[in-house]
Structure 1
Amino acid sequence: MATSSILAPGTAPVKAEYLISIQVVDVVDDDAAEGVTNPATNDFAVTKRSSDEQPEEEPEHKKQKLSSSQRRRLAKEERKAKRGQNKNRRFTKAHDEIDLCWNAGRGIKCPKEELASCKFSHDLKSYLESKLPDVRIPRKGELLTHPPYVTIPAEPDNDTGRREGIICPEYRELGECKYAFKCRFLADHVEPIPENEEDHLGVGLRILYDANQAEIAREKFQELNRLASPGLLKDLRTKKYPTPKSDEYLAYLATLRDDAPTAGGRGAATANADVESAEQTMGDQSKIPRGQHEHHEEPQDTPDVPMRPVEKLRLHWKNQTYLAPLSTVGNLPFRRLCVDYGASITCAEMGLAASLLNASKAEWSLVRRHPSEGIFGTQLAGNKPGTLVAAAEVISRECPNVDFVDLNCGCPIDLVFKSGAGSALLDQQSKLSKILVGMNRTLGETPLTIKLRTGVKDGRNLAHRLMPRLHSWGVSAVTASWRIHGRSRQQRYSKLADWDYIKTCVDVLRASEADEGLSPIPIFGGGDVYSSQGYWECVEQSGVDGVMVARGALIKPWIFTEIKERREWDISSRERLDIVRQLCEYGLTHWGTDTAGVNTVRRYVCEALSFQHRYIPIGVLERPIGKLNERAPAYHGRDELETLLASTDSNKWVEISSMFLGPPPDQWKFEPKHRSNSTSEEGNG
Structure 2
Amino acid sequence: MTSANIPPGTAPIKPEFLVSVQPRDVPDDDAAEGTTSHANGRPDAAPGAEDKEEGGKKLTGAQRKKLAKEERKKHRGANKGRRFQKVRDEVELCFRVASGKSCEFGNDCRFTHDVAAYLAAKPRDIHFPAPEDLSDEPPFVRLPDVEMAETTDALQTSLDPTTTCPIFHDTGECRHGLKCRFLGNHVRKKENGELELLIDEEKKARVAAADTELNFVDGDTLKKIRTKKYPHPIADAYLKEIQQATNEKDADNTLEAKDRSAGETSVEAQHADLTAATAADTVDRSQDDAPDVPLRFVEKKRLHWTGKTYLAPLTTVGNLPFRRLCVDYGADITCGEMGLAMSFLQGSKEEWSLVRRHPSEGIFGMQIAGSKPQLLVPAAEIIGRECAGNLDFVDVNCGCPIDLVYKTGSGSALLDAAGRLGKILVGMNRALGDIPVTVKLRTGVKDGRNTAHKLMPRLAAEWGASAITVRTRHSIRYTKLADWDYIKQCVQAVREREAEEDLPPVPIFGGGDCFSAEDYWYKMDNYGVDGVMIGRGALIKPWIFTEIKERREWDISSRERLELIRKYAEYGLNHFGSDTAGVNTTRRYLCEALSFQYRYIPIGLLETLPPRINDRAPAFRGRDELETLLASPDSRDWVKISEMFLGPAPESWSFTPKHKSNAYGSEEGQG
Q: TM-score, normalised by structure 1?
A: 0.83
CA deviation after TM superposition for structure 1 residue 330, in Å: 0.3
1:528-571 C-alpha deviation (Å, 9 max, x unpaired): 00000011111111111110000000000000000000000000
5+ residue gaps in structure 1?
A: 45-65, 67-76, 262-277, 297-306
Q: Which secondary structure does the structure 2 equivalent of 1:501 belong to?
A: helix
The corresponding residue for 1:182 is 179
**Counterpart amino acid of 1:239?**
K
Contact 2:290 2:422 in 1 (8 A): no
CA deviation after TM superposition for structure 1 residue 479, in Å: 2.1
Contact 1:613 1:647 in 2 (8 A): yes
The corresponding residue for 2:67 is none
Q: Which secondary structure does the structure 2 equivalent of 1:256 belong to?
A: helix
Contact 1:412 1:492 in 2 (8 A): no
**Counterpart amino acid of 2:646?**
L
Out of 293, 301, 308, the residue aligned to residue 295 of structure 1 is 293
Q: Could you tell me the percent identity over the aligned residues?
A: 57
CA deviation after TM superposition for structure 1 residue 227, in Å: 0.9
**Separation in structure 2 between the aligned mates of residue 534 and residue 437 of structure 1, nearest angstrom:** 36
1:645-675 C-alpha deviation (Å, 9 max, x unpaired): 0000000000000000000111211111122
Out of 108, 112, 120, the residue aligned to residue 121 of structure 1 is 112
Q: Which secondary structure does the structure 1 equivalent of 2:81 belong to?
A: coil
* 1:91 is aligned to 2:84: yes
**Separation in structure 1 between the aligned mates of residue 128 and residue 529 of structure 2, nearest angstrom:** 42
Q: Which secondary structure does the structure 1 equivalent of 2:447 belong to?
A: coil
**Counterpart amino acid of 1:147?**
P
1:252-274 C-alpha deviation (Å, 9 max, x unpaired): 0011133699xxxxxxxxxxxxx
CA deviation after TM superposition for structure 1 residue 613, in Å: 0.4
**Counterpart amino acid of 1:450?**
V
Distance 1:108-1:497 versus aligned 2 partners, 3 A rule: same
* 1:224 is aligned to 2:214: yes
Contact 2:127 2:143 in 1 (8 A): no
CA deviation after TM superposition for structure 1 residue 284, in Å: 14
CA deviation after TM superposition for structure 1 residue 356, in Å: 0.1
Contact 1:31 1:493 in 2 (8 A): no
Q: Which secondary structure does the structure 2 equivalent of 1:614 belong to?
A: coil
CA deviation after TM superposition for structure 1 residue 324, in Å: 0.4
Moved over 6 A (4+): 41-44, 80-83, 281-287, 289-292, 490-494, 679-683
5+ residue gaps in structure 2?
A: 37-41, 46-54, 56-69, 251-275
**Counterpart amino acid of 2:8?**
P
The corresponding residue for 1:345 is 333
The corresponding residue for 2:147 is 156
Contact 2:287 2:418 in 1 (8 A): no
CA deviation after TM superposition for structure 1 residue 32, in Å: 1.7
Contact 2:289 2:419 in 1 (8 A): no
CA deviation after TM superposition for structure 1 residue 466, in Å: 1.4
1:438-476 C-alpha deviation (Å, 9 max, x unpaired): 111111100010000111112321111113334673x3x
1:387-410 C-alpha deviation (Å, 9 max, x unpaired): 111111111101120100000000
**Counterpart amino acid of 1:378?**
M
Q: Which secondary structure does the structure 1 equivalent of 2:515 belong to?
A: coil
**Separation in structure 1 between the aligned mates of residue 298 and residue 460 of structure 2, nearest angstrom:** 15
Distance 1:539-1:241 versus aligned 2 partners, 3 A rule: same
CA deviation after TM superposition for structure 1 residue 619, in Å: 0.9
Contact 1:648 1:682 in 2 (8 A): no
Distance 1:342-1:283 versus aligned 2 partners, 3 A rule: same
Out of 228, 233, 239, the residue aligned to residue 250 of structure 1 is 239
Out of 205, 208, 220, the residue aligned to residue 198 of structure 2 is 208
Contact 2:480 2:614 in 1 (8 A): no
**Counterpart amino acid of 1:532?**
A
CA deviation after TM superposition for structure 1 residue 289, in Å: 11
The corresponding residue for 1:33 is 32
**Counterpart amino acid of 1:21?**
S
Aligned length: 605
Contact 1:84 1:675 in 2 (8 A): no
The corresponding residue for 1:595 is 580
**Counterpart amino acid of 1:545?**
D
CA deviation after TM superposition for structure 1 residue 495, in Å: 3.2
* 1:453 is aligned to 2:442: yes
Q: Which secondary structure does the structure 2 equivalent of 1:239 belong to?
A: coil
The corresponding residue for 2:138 is 147
User: How do residues 260-275 of structure 1 correspond to structure 2 at under 5 angstroms?
Assistant: none
Q: TM-score, normalised by structure 2?
A: 0.85
CA deviation after TM superposition for structure 1 residue 27, in Å: 2.7
Out of 614, 618, 623, the residue aligned to residue 608 of structure 2 is 623
CA deviation after TM superposition for structure 1 residue 86, in Å: 3.8
CA deviation after TM superposition for structure 1 residue 328, in Å: 0.3
Distance 1:638-1:167 versus aligned 2 partners, 3 A rule: same
Distance 1:487-1:124 versus aligned 2 partners, 3 A rule: same
Contact 2:288 2:419 in 1 (8 A): no
**Separation in structure 2 between the aligned mates of residue 292 and residue 445 of structure 1, nearest angstrom:** 23
Q: Which secondary structure does the structure 1 equivalent of 2:108 belong to?
A: coil
Contact 1:284 1:430 in 2 (8 A): no
Out of 394, 400, 403, the residue aligned to residue 405 of structure 1 is 394
Contact 2:444 2:451 in 1 (8 A): yes
**Counterpart amino acid of 1:225?**
N
